[in-house]
Amino acid sequence: MAHDAVGGGEHTGHAGMGHGAMDMAPAGIPLASGAEDRDGLELDVLHARLGPVLAHWPSGLVLRCTLQGDVIVDAEARLIDAGPSAPNPRISSRHLFVARRCDNAAGLLALAGFDDAASHARRVRDAVLKAGGTAHASRQLYRLRRMVRRSWLLRWSLRRVGPLTERDLARWHLPEHLRGDVRDRLLSMLDRAAQGLAQADGQSTHDQPAVLIEAVADLVRGWDLAAARLIVASLDLEALTADREVSRV
Amino acid sequence: MITHVAFWALAVIAVLAGAAVFIVNSMARASYSLAVSFICVGLQVLLLQQNYVGVVTILMMVMEMAIMAVYMVMFMGMNPALMPMSMVHDKRHALAVSIAVFVLLATGVLLEPWPARRGTPPDDVTAALGEELMGPKMLVMAAVGVVMAVTIVAGVVLAAHRGRYDRFGDDLRRRPARDPQPGGVGR
Amino acid sequence: MTLQTVLLVAAALFSVGLYGALSQQVVVMVMMGLELMLNGLILAAAGFWWFLAPDPSGQVLLLVIIVAMTVEMAVGFAVATALHRVRRVDMTDMAADLSR
Amino acid sequence: MSDPSVRVVAPLWVLAAAGLLGLLVLAAAVLDGALSARAAGADVRTGLTRPIGEVARLMRQRRRVTVAADTLLWRVGGAGLLVMAMMIVTVVPLGDWTLFDLDVGVVWFNAMDVLAWAFVWLTGWGANSAYSLVGGYRFLAHGLGYELPLMFALVAPAVAASSLNVGTIAAAQQGLWFVVWMPVAFLVFCMGVLAIAVWGPFSPALGPDVAGGVSVELSGVDRLLFLSGRYALLAAGAAFAVPMFLGGGAGPLLPAWVWVLVKTLALLAVFVWLRRHLPAARPDLFMEVGWVVLLPAVLLQDLLVAGIALGRS
């Protein structure tokens, strides 16, 4: 659907960037130059960077985007300072797993503008991280899941955004739970948090399979900024554990 | 007295803002100075007791100029508006013609023996306008409606990029439609 | 505020608009000039109405002018978009050159 | 020309109206702070005092400067929302008193709410920052979706009262409030108010996904003006809904002006509460809804109202 704009976009990215226009720079900022866009209007091309520090954004991820209007025609992903985070001995990995899911869900909900649910998710996360809050936390999580599932406005706003089919998953080696659109992924995020919470302490939570950062860049191409932010947030990334060598930007 | 002062102040601002449209070198400033000019004229029309028309002028023109600014930014590409460069042709001729027109109009205005006022304004100007439009001048209203509808259709046809065959496929059966960005109703 | 002064202001607005419409090259700027001319017309019509014949039917003329402006804008934007899409030009001269 | 039930007060009362609007703004900000604090599980009292602390902080903050900003337009846009709200309030009768008894008050409201297009976009444009410009365009995209339904929603009460004067419309609701038999128009009107205040579902122009959108580079007094302008627009919109749909000053026991204030506060509280409760309506989705769903719905409502008005006369 949205990816048909991608075909040409992959190559036009940086190559065509403002050669003739470089000498014209009001206030030291070179003028943008135009390029083909998906609507055939030859809009100006803008280069902007998302991350590494941005609210509700996987920290350390940097997306260098080529924008036309607010549509991302090309993107290139990098990681900075990636490395395994030091494990916190006081919190079990299971609780960390659940907290991470809740945190990601809170970010996604905040990006979708659903502030109440986002605050709620943050409270669940805090309850999980505080040792002993498990019964309380699972009650809260249950309520959060019901709230998210029932909001028809949220369904309307997130459906059909960033759909991933079985084939897409295979192509980018993505884990199974990312299938569907952003809303499906949000629900599966919360479901996995609930599963993690229901497990006994001894059971090890299966390791989060890494998401290739090239996949992140590919997935946001052709979408507008708002949808792209939702898509990135819905990928449920672990902090700084994407499967790539460290590179500096 | 206050009316006179207000009228003159508005007149000066309206003309200066109108001239600024072609002087300032920023797209946003150009379109919004035109908006200011329109707002001043709308307020002057209010002073001339035609409340409905005056307020509608402000309403329409602010909206139009908001859109206008978008089009300016979109279509002026390598723009003269950020770079000070002259984008005019026949500047001198245009100036001469417009000054001549102004002199001609002004002489006409000043020399013409305007007739005395006939009739008095109705009590409720707006209601009178409405009754006029829905009564004796119904034809105007009907024509305006049709023209507006035609304009909407013509505008969309002229500006649209993708037709229904692009959206629904050659047999018009593809559901949901193939759009670069899905819409909110899910057609 | 007399009829003469109102009409003088209207004439000034009209002339400034005429200058813009004649001298500007970019389609959107030409439209701005036209709008300014119509702006002058609105003021003139309002002045005529108030000072000469304040009966209801005169106001209809004003409404028609406003409608004309909106239609002009809408069609103008559509034409500018179509021109831009088809020919990649936004200047009146270029559009004329290419049509030949 | 004007309704005898409404008296025009001396121009100096503008100050009182501005003060009242300021109080409503403060009430709305405090309520929002309290709701936010409650949702975050914090002490509600911290939320109550937060708006005041925020005002103090912004008053002292130094202005941020961006490269090649269009300062004039930026400042105009930032302060404009507050002016708009003030202009709307002038035509709202408070019980028997009004500041400006304009015979086309409804169109006046419409003309003022359209100014939001200009001011929000200008604020986004002036800062010369990519994120704020994206925010500005998002607002215009919303505008294309909500403005026409809003216009036609305003038509319904005017048709029912056969007047464009706000006082007359309020007086025409003796017995039955318009909200009862034109609920669609009322809901669409409320949506329009949320939209001009860039509030709740219509806040993608200020969205966290573009780092605050239009307001990203605003700081200090400019930010204060912009934010309080949003609250003021919410309050002014709620105040305007009272004579349009909620019977104006009608109500038992209390004097008319108290009823107007009570109704305004109630509607304002609902607006504020909605912000946290509803997800954002992204402009690309909302535009289609505005044209395909809301516009026909409001037109049907207008048709219905016109039919009833014709039958009653």
Does the CA dihedral D35-D36-D41-D47 come out positive or negative? negative
The predicted pLDDT at position A27 comes to 59
Closest-CA distance, D284 to chain B, in angstroms, reads 6
Other Cβ atoms closer than 10 A to A210: 15
Nearest CA distance, B165 vs chain C (angstrom): 19
Q: Considering only CA atoms, which of D158, A107, D37, A159 is closest in space to residue B185?
A: A159
For A119, nearest residue in chain D (alpha carbons) = D40
pLDDT of B76:
65
Q: How many CB atoms sit inside 10 A of residue A50's CB? A: 22
Contacts across the B-C interface (CB distance below 8 Å): 234
Q: What percent of chain D shows pLDDT beyond 90? A: 33
Residue with tokens 């649209």: B160
Which has the closest alpha carbon to D278: D219, D216, D195?
A: D195
What pLDDT shows up at residue B91? 78
- What pLDDT, on a 0 to 100 scale, did the predictor assign at position A209? 58
- D101: contact with B, CB 8 A cutoff: no
Answer whether D121's CB lies under 8 Å from B72's CB. Answer: no
Inter-chain touch B180–A34, beta carbons under 8 Å: no
Q: Is residue A184 part of a domain?
A: yes
Gap between the Cα atoms of D196 and D143, Å rounded: 8
Subunits close to C (at least 3 CB pairs below 8 A): A, B
Using alpha carbons, select from D207, A3, D209 the residue that is nearest to residue B182: A3
Q: Are D282 and D134 in contact (CB under 8 A)?
A: no
Distance from CA of B29 to the nearest CA of D (A): 8
- Asked if residues A91 and A245 have their Cβ atoms less than 8 Å apart, the reply is no
- Least confident residue range of A27-31, B95-99, D204-208: A27-31
Pairing of strands A61-68, A71-79: antiparallel
Q: What pLDDT sits at residue A22?
A: 40
* Residue D261, beta-bridge partner list: none
Nearest CA distance, D47 vs chain A (angstrom): 14
| A47-51, B97-101, D164-168: the lowest-pLDDT one | A47-51
Where is average pLDDT lowest: A117-121, D35-39, D148-152, D300-304? D35-39
The arithmetic mean of pLDDT across residues D98-124, rounded, is: 89
Flag whether pLDDT at B25 surpasses 80.
no
Task: Classify domain C3-99 at the CATH topology level.
Answer: Helix Hairpins (1.10.287)
- Residue A200's pLDDT is 65
Q: How far is B180 from chain C (nearest CA, A)?
A: 17
Contact C44, C2 (CB under 8 A): no
Contacts of B77 in chain C (CB under 8 A): 90
pLDDT given at position C3: 86
Contacts of A46 (CB under 8 A, 6+ apart): A32, A66, A67, A68, D130
Average pLDDT over all residues of chain B: 82
Backbone angles phi, psi at A69, to 5 degrees: 65, -130
Considering only CB atoms, D118 lies closest to which of B32, B124, B185, namely B32
Mean pLDDT of D258-281: 91
Interface residue B150 vs chain A (CB under 8 A): no
Interface of A with B in 66-125 (CB under 8 A): none
- Cβ distance D292 to B123 less than 8 Å, yes or no, reads no
pLDDT at A242: 43
Task: Kindly tell me whether chain C and chain D come into contact, counting contact as 3+ Cβ pairs under 8 Å.
Answer: no
Among left, alpha and beta (phi > 0; psi -120 to 50; other), residue A216 is alpha
| β-strand partners of A119 | none
Mean pLDDT of D261-286: 90
pLDDT of residue D266: 93
Mean pLDDT along residues B5-22: 91
Do the chains contact at A42 and C88, CB–CB below 8 Å? yes
Inter-chain CB proximity A41 and C81 less than 8 Å = yes
The helix/strand/coil state of A34 is strand
Residue pair A232/A141 in contact (Cβ under 8 Å)? The answer is no
In a domain, A244, yes or no: no
- Least confident range from A92-101, B77-86, B136-145, D70-79: namely B77-86
Cis amide leading into A52 (omega within 30):
yes
Q: Residue B132 and residue C12: Cβ atoms within 8 Å? A: no
Q: What letter would DSSP give residue D173?
A: T
DSSP helix/strand/coil, C3: helix
Looking at chain C, which residue has its C-alpha nearest residue B22?
A: C20
CB contact under 8 A, D207 and A157: no
Q: Which residues of C touch A40 (CB under 8 A)?
A: 85
CA-based nearest residue to C41, from C24, C56, C62, C19: C62
Instruction: Give the pLDDT score at A100.
Output: 82
Work out the minimum CA distance from A215 to partner chain D, whole angstroms. Answer: 20
- Closest C-alpha among A216, A194, A221 to residue A205: A194
pLDDT tens by residue, D215-241: 888 888 888 999 999 999 999 999 999
**pLDDT on residue C98:** 53
- Which residues are CB-contacts of A235 (< 8 A; sequence separation ≥ 6)? A178, A185, A211, A216, A219
User: For residue range B155-169, what is the model confidence (pLDDT) as tens digits?
Assistant: 888 888 777 788 787
B60 and C69 in contact by Cβ < 8 A?
yes
Is C88 at the interface with chain A, CB within 8 A? yes
Q: In sequence order, what are the residues at sequence separation of 6 or more whose Cβ sits closer than 8 angstroms to the Cβ of residue A84?
A: A240, A241
Q: Do D39 and A28 touch (CB under 8 A)?
A: no
* Vertex B104 angle, CA B102 and B105, to 5°: 65
What does pLDDT average to in each consecutive run of 10 residues of chain A (249 residues)? Answer: 36 38 54 67 78 80 84 84 60 76 89 89 84 75 89 87 85 82 90 80 56 80 87 78 40
| Six token digits for residue C23 | 């001298």
Q: Rounded CA gap, A151 and A58, in Å? A: 25
pLDDT of residue A6: 35
**What are chain B's partners, defined as 3 or more CB pairs within 8 angstroms?**
A, C, D
D141 touches chain B (CB under 8 A): no
Of D110, D111, D125, the CB nearest to B28: D125
- A30-39, D25-34, D201-210: segment of lowest average pLDDT: A30-39
Element (H, E) at D44: helix D44-60
Q: Which residue of A has its CA nearest to C84?
A: A41
Confirm or reject contact between A164 and chain B (CB < 8 A): no
Q: In chain A, what is the straight-line distance between the N-terminal and C-terminal CA atoms, in Å?
A: 32
Instruction: Give me the pLDDT at residue D296, please.
Output: 93
* Predicted ipTM of the assembly: 0.83
Q: Quote the CA–CA distance of C90 and A42 in Å, as a whole number.
A: 12
pLDDT of D127 reads: 85
Distance to chain D for A29, nearest Cα, Å: 9
Inform me whether the pLDDT recorded for B81 exceeds 50: no
Residues of B in contact with A4 (CB under 8 A): 178, 180
What residues 83-122 of chain B have any CB closer than 8 A to a CB of chain A? Answer: 83
Which of B75, B88, B159 lies nearest to residue C90, judging by beta carbons?
Answer: B75
**Cβ atoms of residues B50 and C59 within 8 Å:** yes
Give B179 to chain C, closest Cα distance, Å. 19
CB A23 within 8 A of CB A59: no
**Beta carbons of A4 and B180 less than 8 Å apart:** yes
Q: Which residues of A touch B83 (CB under 8 A)?
A: 24, 26, 31
Contact at CB, A153 and D278, closer than 8 angstroms: yes
Q: In this complex, is the C-beta atom of B32 within 8 Å of any C-beta atom belonging to chain D?
A: yes
Q: What is the mean pLDDT of chain D?
A: 87
pLDDT higher at D39 or A2: D39
Give the pLDDT confidence score for residue A248 in this predicted structure.
36
Helices (H), ranges, D246-294: 256-277, 283-289
pLDDT at A249: 35
B-interface mutation test, from D100, D117, D144, most B Cβ less than 10 A away: D117
- In A, which residues are within 8 Å of D290 by CB distance? none
Q: Which of D147, D163, D146 is nearest to D91 (CA)?
A: D163
Cβ within 8 Å of B, C 30-89: 31-33, 35-36, 39, 42-43, 46-47, 49-57, 59-60, 62-64, 66-67, 69-71, 73-75, 77-82, 84-85
Q: Is the pLDDT of residue D149 over 90?
A: yes
| C81/A contact by beta carbon, under 8 A | yes
Domain boundaries, chain D: 7-312
pLDDT of residue A21: 39
What is the per-residue pLDDT for D197?
92
CA distance B184 to D292: 9
In chain A, which ranges are E strands? 45-50, 61-68, 71-79
pLDDT of residue A203: 53
Q: How much is the pLDDT for D120?
A: 92
Partner chains of A (3+ C-beta pairs under 8 Å): B, C, D
Residue C93 in this model has a pLDDT that exceeds 70: no
Confidence at residue A79, expressed as pLDDT on a 0 to 100 scale? 79
Model pLDDT, residue D230: 92
Residues of chain A with Cβ-Cβ distance to D280 below 8 Å are 112-114, 157
A160–chain B Cβ distance below 8 A for any pair: yes
Q: Distances in Å between the alpha carbon of A197 and those of A140, A141, B27?
A: 12, 9, 57
Please give the angle made by the CA atoms of A231, A232 and A238, to the nearest 5 degrees.
135
For residue D5, is pLDDT > 80?
no
CA atoms within 13 A on the CB side of B13: 18
DSSP per-residue letters across A138-164:
HHHHHHHHHHHHH-HHHHHHHTTSS-B
CA gap C34, C13 in Å, rounded: 11
Structural domain boundaries of chain B?
1-77, 124-182
- B156 in helix, strand or coil? helix
Which chains pack against D, by 3+ Cβ pairs within 8 A? A, B
By mean pLDDT, which of A120-129, A187-196, B123-132, C14-23 is the weakest? B123-132
Higher pLDDT among residues B170 and A150, named by residue: A150
Does the pLDDT at position D90 exceed 50?
yes
Q: What is the pLDDT of residue D85?
A: 92
